[in-house]
């Protein structure tokens, strides 16, 4: 019995020692990632935006570079727990602003009890107030926007409505029209599932119902079909370690990470976003008829992206007028292109920055 107790005590000591070492390593990694580049900026703060505290990080290697505001997807799906790993790859040509939109990520942590209804007007007001804050605080007449998924249509609407505040638009995982997007998705899914009677019946059931249908069951089937046939968000392994990015995140403490991960795995997004998703306004989101851009327009899409249909994005791209425009298509890539091939994506961002600086 004494020997058994001794073994247990030794095992516990070893486990505690390993945990302590891991935490020490984490602290060192966070300190390294928290450093401000010489001549640059690395600043995290909560900004008063439209009645709520909203978190941003501003990171860049040269304060004189143009400012690029990154709009995450969802709506409500912040990526700040890992996105510094890919956004910093742009920081030699842009001062990159990562923004957790209202009720998302660290902004949600600051306002967990906020139940203010969300609609397009509210999001547009948020976007304009954030733009004004960045223009004033960073001393820029105009800023650039890069938006992914929901962030792409959000950003497009900001640029279309107020071109006087923006000098460049980059859309990725481009969302153009929610209804047409879903129609095209189910058309593609029927082709994938040919010969699989069970999947064909499931797809027919979803495709014959209300479109778009943002119910949990609808999204579940949609996601399962994409993953099963090789078109999922992460269709291949990421070119960086997301676990390491999470572990060494300089902006999250351990408690924040636990709360956000629990929230992400149990609820996904704030209830206010689920409420908005169910409205006719959200389901009818579209920029199909808005084709006159007064700023340069760029797209970076994957040729296997059916979550935000890449062919629909191409059709829209062909229809728009802009001072300059270019489509970049990443081969064999689905919706998670920034996270999965961050190096290739960064090369394209650098190409866009070079084109804009030489105009």
For 320-343, write each residue's pLDDT tens digit. 999 999 999 999 999 999 999 999
For 73-124, write each residue's pLDDT tens digit. 989 999 998 999 999 999 999 999 999 999 998 998 888 778 888 999 999 9
pLDDT at 267: 64
| Residue 45 CA neighbour count, 13 Å, CB half | 13
According to CATH, the topology of domain 42-180+231-357 is: Rossmann fold (3.40.50)
Peptide bond into 44 cis (omega under 30): no
Structure tokens at 144: 């650039």
- Compute the 3-state secondary structure of the chain and give helix, strand, coil in percent, each to the nearest 5: 50, 15, 35
Residues 242-281, buried b or exposed e (16+ Cβ, 10 A)?
eeebebbbbbbeeebeeebeebeeeeebbebbbebbeeee
For 204-263, write each residue's pLDDT tens digit. 877 776 776 677 778 888 888 899 988 888 767 888 888 888 888 999 888 887 887 777
| Domain chopping of the chain, boundaries | 1-33, 42-180+231-357
More confident residue, 72 or 103: 72
Q: Are strands 52-60 and 95-99 parallel, antiparallel or unpaired?
A: antiparallel
Q: Quick one: how far is CA 300 from the chain centroid?
A: 14
Q: How far apart are CA 1 and CA 331, in angstroms?
A: 63
Contact 142, 167 (CB under 8 A): yes
The residue written with tokens 């935490």 in the block is 23
Torsion of the alpha carbons at 266, 246, 69 and 133, rounded to the nearest 10: 80
More confident residue, 280 or 124: 124
Q: How far apart are CA 185 and CA 259, in angstroms?
A: 34
For residue 41, which of 102, 98, 82 has the smallest C-alpha distance?
98
Contact 297, 169 (CB under 8 A): yes
- Per DSSP (E only), the strands in the chain are 41-49, 52-60, 67-71, 95-99, 143-148, 166-172, 297-302, 325-330
Range in 14-23, 209-218, 243-252, 282-291 with the lowest mean pLDDT: 14-23
Q: How far apart are CA 180 and CA 121, in angstroms?
A: 22
325 to 120, 292, 293, 314: CA distances (angstroms): 26, 12, 10, 12
pLDDT at 20: 60
Q: Are strands 143-148 and 52-60 parallel, antiparallel or unpaired?
A: unpaired
């Amino acid at each position: 019995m004494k020997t058994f107790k001794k073994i247990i005590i030794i095992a516990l000591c070893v486990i505690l020692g390993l945990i302590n070492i891991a935490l020490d390593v984490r602290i060192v990694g966070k300190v390294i990632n928290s450093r401000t580049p010489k001549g640059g900026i690395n600043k995290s703060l909560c900004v008063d935006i439209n009645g709520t505290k909203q978190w941003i990080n501003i990171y860049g290697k040269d304060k004189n570079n143009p400012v690029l505001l990154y709009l995450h997807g969802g709506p409500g799906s912040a990526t700040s727990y890992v996105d510094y790993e890919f956004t910093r790859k742009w920081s030699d040509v842009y001062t990159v602003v990562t923004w957790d939109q209202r009720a998302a990520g660290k902004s949600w942590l600051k306002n967990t009890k906020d139940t203010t209804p969300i609609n397009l007007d509210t999001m547009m007001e948020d976007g304009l107030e954030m733009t004004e804050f960045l223009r004033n605080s960073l001393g820029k007449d105009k800023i650039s926007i890069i938006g992914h998924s929901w962030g792409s249509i959000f950003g497009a609407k900001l640029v279309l409505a107020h071109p006087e505040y923006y000098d460049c638009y980059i859309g990725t995982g481009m969302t153009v029209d929610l209804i047409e997007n879903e129609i095209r998705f189910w058309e593609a899914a029927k082709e994938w599932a040919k010969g699989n009677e069970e999947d064909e019946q499931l797809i027919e059931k979803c495709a014959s119902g209300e479109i778009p249908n943002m119910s949990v069951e609808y999204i579940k089937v949609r996601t399962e079909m994409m993953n099963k046939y090789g078109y999922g968000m992460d269709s291949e392994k990421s070119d960086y370690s997301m676990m390491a990015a999470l572990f060494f995140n300089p902006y999250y403490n351990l408690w924040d990470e636990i709360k956000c991960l629990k929230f992400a795995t149990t609820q996904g997004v704030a209830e206010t976003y689920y409420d908005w998703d169910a409205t006719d306004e959200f389901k009818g989101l579209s920029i199909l008829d808005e084709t006159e851009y007064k700023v340069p327009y760029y797209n970076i899409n994957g040729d296997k992206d059916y979550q935000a249909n890449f062919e629909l994005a191409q059709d829209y791209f062909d229809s728009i007028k802009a001072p300059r425009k270019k489509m970049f298509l990443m081969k064999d890539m689905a919706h998670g292109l920034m996270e999965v091939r961050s190096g290739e994506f960064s090369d394209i961002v650098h190409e866009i920055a070079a084109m804009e600086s030489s105009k």
